[in-house]
Amino acid sequence: MRDFGDPTSLSKAASVVVSYWASLSDFPSFETIDHRIMTKSSNAQPTNPNRVRPQGTVRYDHSGRVVLVTGGSNGIGLAICRGFSDSGAQVVCADIAPYPDLNDANVTHVSTDVSRESDCQRAVELAIEKFGALDVLVNNAAIQPASSYVRVEDLQHEDYQRMLSINLSGYTFMAKYALRAMRQQQSGVIVNIASGQAHRTTRGVPVYGPIKAANILQAMQWGVEYARDGIRVVSVSPGAIDTPLVRATLEAQGGERELANRHPLGRIGKPEEIAAAVLWLSSQDASFITGTDLAVDGGLGAFGSFADPYPMPSKV
C-alpha cells in the first residue's frame, strides 16, 4: 500500500480520488449500458430472414464393421441401427421385439432380454460367429415405466427390480462379453446411452436418473480399465427425444410443448440426432475420446434452474 505521509498529502490524494469518480458521472451506469445492449439486441432484425445458410453434413463409412445394438427395434436404438446400416456396417439388433425393417439385409435380429446374462452372452457370440468380430457395442435398452414416477417411499419393488436388471445389469452383462472379444482383437468401442437425468434431477424420478448416472460411471471406469487394450468407452446423454418411451410419459412431464420449451433450442430432439453422435463417437474421427460423456440435449444441461424460462411459443 502506498504511504501518503502527512495529513496534507493524504487530503490531496483523497481530493484526486473524489475528482476522478466525479469525472465519471457523465458516463452511463452499468445498468444503463446493459439495458441499451439488451434493447439493441432484442430489436435487431435478420438482414435476410428468408435466406437459409448452408448447414453442412457429415457422412460416415462403417463398412466391414460389426455393431451390436441393444434395444434396437424402436426409438433411439432403431435410429442407431439404421444409421450404422446406412453407413455399411453389419448390425446385430438385440431386442425382445422384432426388428421392423425386414428388408434390411445389413441387420440381423436376435431375440434378447438383456436382464438375462445368458441372453447377453448369446447375442455377443452370435455376432462373432456370424461376422467374425465385434467392433462396436451400443448399450441402449432401457425402460422407465410410468408407474416409476413416484416418491421413493411409494416405489414398487417390481418396478425397481426391472429397471435395475435392464438399465444397469443389462449394460454390465453386455459389456462383460463384448469386452472379452474386443480385448482379444485389441480394438473396439462401447457406447452407453445415458440421459440428461444422469446429471440433474427432479421430483418423482427416484430410480431412472440414478441408474443413468451409473451408466456414465460405467463408461468412465471401463474406459480407464481397457484404454491400453485398444478399446474406447464413452456415454451419450440425450435430452428429451421423440421416442415411444418419452411419448408414453408426456402428460406426466407437462405435455409436448412444455417439455420442448424447457430446452433452450425450443424443441424435442430426434432419434437420428443421437444416432449421429454415436456414429461419430464410434469412428476413427473420435479416436482420442474415451471415458467421458457427450450431452446431446438441446442446451438443457446448460440452462440454470434460476434462469427465467423462455416465453412459450404461440401455437401454430
**Which residues are known catalytic residues?**
208
DSSP single-letter state for residue 92:
E
Bridge partners of 139, per DSSP, are: 192
Name the phi and psi angles at 20, rounded to 5.
Answer: -65, -50
Long-range contacts of 196-204 (CB under 8 A, 24+ apart): 196/237, 196/238, 196/239, 196/240, 196/295, 196/297, 196/300, 196/301, 198/237, 198/293, 199/237, 199/295, 199/301, 200/301, 203/151, 204/149, 204/150, 204/151, 204/252
Rounded to the nearest 5 degrees, what angle is found at the Cα of 198, between the Cα atoms of 144 and 252?
40
Task: State the DSSP string of 97-116.
Answer: SPPS-TT-TTEEEEE--TTS
* Amino acid letter, residue 80: I
Strand 231-238 to 66-70 pairing: unpaired
Distance between CA atoms of residues 153 and 173, nearest Å: 29
